[in-house]
Amino acid sequence: LINIMEHKQEARNPFFRVVDLTDTTEDPALWGKNFPMQYDGYKRTVDQIRTRHGGSEAIARTPTQVDPRSVVAQSRLEEDPRLKTMWAGYAFAVDFREERGHAYMLDDQTFTERQQVVKQPGTCMHCHASVYVPYKNLGGRDLIKGFEKMNHMPYSEARKLVSHPVACIDCHDPATMALRVTRPGFIEGIRALKASQGIQNYDVNAMATRQEMRTYVCGQCHVEYYFKGPEKRLVYPWAKGLKIDSIMAYYDETEFKDWTHAETKAPALKAQHPEFELWNQGIHARSGVACADCHMPYKREGALKISDHHVRSPLLNINRACQTCHKWPEEELKARAETIQERTFRLRNVAMDALVDLINDLKMVRTADSTNSALATAQQYQRKAQFYLDFVEAENSTGFHAPQEAERILGESINFSRKGQVALRTLLTGK
Partner 1 sequence: MKIQSTVTVFLSIVVGLAIGVGSYTFIYAKGGSYLTNDPAACANCHIMNEQYDGWLKSSHHSVAVCNDCHTPPGFVPKYLTKAENGFWHSFAFTSGDFHEPIQIKERNREVAEKACRKCHQEIVDAIEAPHGEGEQISCLQCHREVGHP
Which DSSP category does 206 fall into?
A: H
DSSP secondary structure code for residue 242 in this structure: S
Establish if 20 lies at the interface with partner 1 (CB under 8 A): no
Nearer to a second copy, 115 or 417 (CB): 417
| From candidates 201, 327, 331, 368, binder to partner 1 by CB under 8 A | 327
Residues 85-104 that bind Ca ion (CB under 5 A): 98-99
Residue 74 makes contact with a second copy by CB under 8 A: no
* 86 sits near ligand HEC (criterion: CB under 6 A): no
Using CB under 6 A as the binding criterion, the count of chain residues that bind ligand HEC stands at 95
Residue 349 CA to residue 341 CA, distance in Å, equals 12
The Cα 370–Cα 379 span in angstroms is: 12
C-alpha span between 414 and 421 (Å, rounded): 11
Q: Is 207 an interacting residue with respect to partner 1 (CB under 8 A)? A: no
Closest among 225, 217, 321 to 272, alpha carbons compared = 225
Q: With contact defined as beta carbons under 8 Å apart, do 169 and 130 qualify?
A: yes
Q: Rounded to whole angstroms, how far apart are CA atoms 382 and 17? A: 56
Rounded distance between C-alpha atoms, residue 292 and residue 275, angstroms = 13
Q: Are 94 and 114 in contact (CB under 8 A)?
A: yes
Q: Does 14 bind partner 1 (CB under 8 A)?
A: yes
Grouping H, G, I as helix, E, B as strand and the rest as coil, residue 24 is coil
For residues 73 and 112, what is the distance between their CA atoms, to the nearest angstrom? 11
Residues in binding contact with partner 1, number by CB under 8 A: 30
Close Cβ partners of 3 (under 8 Å, ≥ 6 residues apart): none
Binding to partner 1 in span 100-159, by CB under 8 A:
none
Taking CB under 8 A as the binding criterion, the range among 49-57, 58-66, 302-310, 402-410 that sits at the site for partner 1 is 302-310
- Residue 296 contacts which entry, ligand HEC, partner 1, a second copy, none (Cβ below 5-8 A, type-dependent): ligand HEC
Handedness of CA 184, 187, 188, 190 (dihedral sign): positive
Residue 410 interacts with, from a second copy, ligand HEC, Ca ion, none (CB under 5-8 Å by kind): a second copy
Using CB under 6 A, which of the segments 257-265, 290-298, 346-354, 422-430 binds ligand HEC? 290-298
| Selection from 188, 181, 385 nearest residue 271 by Cα | 385
Q: Does 399 bind a second copy (CB under 8 A)?
A: yes
Return the residue of 136, 159, 191, 222 that touches ligand HEC, per CB under 6 A: 222
Asked if 324 is part of the footprint of partner 1 (rule: CB under 8 A), the reply reads yes
Closest distance of CB 313 from Ca ion, Å: 7
Binding test (CB under 6 A) with ligand HEC, winner from 145, 152, 194, 273? 273
Tell me, by CB under 8 A, how many residues bind a second copy.
38
Q: Is 85 left (phi over 0), alpha (psi -120 to 50) or beta?
A: alpha
Task: For residue 167, give the 3-state DSSP assignment.
Answer: coil
Q: Which does 303 bind (CB under 5 to 8 A by kind): ligand HEC, Ca ion, partner 1, none?
A: partner 1
120 binds ligand HEC (CB under 6 A): yes
- Alpha-carbon dihedral 206, 211, 214, 215, rounded to 10 degrees: -90
Residue 375 zone, left/alpha/beta (φ > 0; ψ -120 to 50; rest):
alpha
Residues 6+ apart with CB under 8 A from 308: 41, 296, 297, 298, 299, 317, 320
Residue 176 interface partner, choices partner 1, a second copy, ligand HEC, none, CB cut-off 5-8 Å depending on type: partner 1
Among 306, 355, 358, 378, binds partner 1 (CB under 8 A): 306
Q: Which of residues 231-290 bind a second copy (CB under 8 A)?
A: 283, 286-287
Sign (positive/negative) of CA torsion 80, 77, 402, 323? positive
By the criterion CB under 8 A, which residues form the site for a second copy? 283, 286-287, 328, 336, 339-340, 343-344, 346-347, 350-351, 354, 357, 364, 399, 403-408, 410-412, 414-415, 417-419, 421-422, 425-426, 428-429, 431
User: Using CB under 8 A as the criterion, which residues of the chain lie in contact with partner 1 when the complex forms?
Assistant: 1, 3-4, 7-8, 11-12, 14-15, 176-178, 209-211, 288, 293, 298, 300, 303-307, 319-320, 323-325, 327
Tell me which residues touch Ca ion (CB under 5 A).
54, 56, 98-99
